[in-house]
Amino acid sequence: MIAIAVSRFNEEVTSQLLKSCKAALAAHGLTQAQVKAFSVPGAYELPWLANELALSGKYEVVIALGCVLKGATAQNDHIARSTVQRLHEIAVRTRVPVILGVITPNTYAQAVARTKGSLDRGKEAANAAVEMLKLRQELKTAHG
């Protein structure tokens, strides 16, 4: 099973990331029953949710989706840095891959561009999740 943790902040963007992520997972053959999405208010809350999902023992991979837009102050830098570092720490500590699908564009136009076409980060996150899922299964088989 794959869990998706998605931020509602900048929802116009994150809902598209979620939509394309789910579509890509379905294209890889995963059913709706094999993919479960959960939401949190903002990107800053994603590590908590990813940690809970990883520790639950129910999911082989967790995908974190969010959008931290550059603002007039340094707050976005602090949120993005903390979120990315914590997601990485969770993956290493829990031994459950946590896929980074949190984008940090400078403008709203850049954010929208990353929800479609060759820059589609939702699809990219799904592809990485499937690859890590296969690798986890391969390692389990190899190490019995």
- Per-residue pLDDT of 10-49, as tens digits, reads 999 999 999 999 999 999 999 999 999 999 999 999 999 9
Q: What is the pLDDT of residues 62-89, one digit of tens each?
A: 999 999 988 778 787 888 999 999 999 9
Mean of the pLDDT values across residues 47-62?
97
In the chain the domains, ranked by start, together with CATH numbers, are 2-143 (3.40.50.960)
Distance (Å, whole) CA 101 – CA 17 = 8
* DSSP-derived secondary structure letter, 106: S
pLDDT score at 71 = 75
Q: What is the pLDDT of residues 84-118, one digit of tens each?
A: 999 999 999 999 999 999 999 999 999 999 999 88
Q: Are strands 61-67 and 35-40 parallel, antiparallel or unpaired?
A: unpaired
Q: Which residue has the higher pLDDT, 78 or 130?
A: 130
Report the side by side order of strands in the sheet with 61-67: 35-40, 2-7, 61-67, 98-103
Beta carbons of 73 and 82 less than 8 angstroms apart? no
pTM for the full model?
Answer: 0.94
